Structure 1
């Protein structure tokens, strides 16, 4: 199981525990699941955020 899958499951679990019930709450769960999926993809290296994050090695 990849980190993207684990991130999706974690996001789904948090989303369900945060907003159980109703159609509006379903949209919240889908949003939180999407966040978990994206975090998993970043951890797997499929999405590169180095362009948006400053380099720590640069001197100030």
Structure 2
């Protein structure tokens, strides 16, 4: 799935959450979407979480 399609789906989910649930639901969906995106990237790449969070110059070798 392309990045444009994923972005569109995320935008639609946030719009529905904001419309029907208010600003609190909007923030909750945005936060959980971010966590899900990070976890999905870690699973897809097989990356260690410490390597994911380390700055570019201090990555473990």
Normalised TM-score (structure 1): 0.44
Normalised TM-score (structure 2): 0.43
Higher helix content, 1 or 2: 2
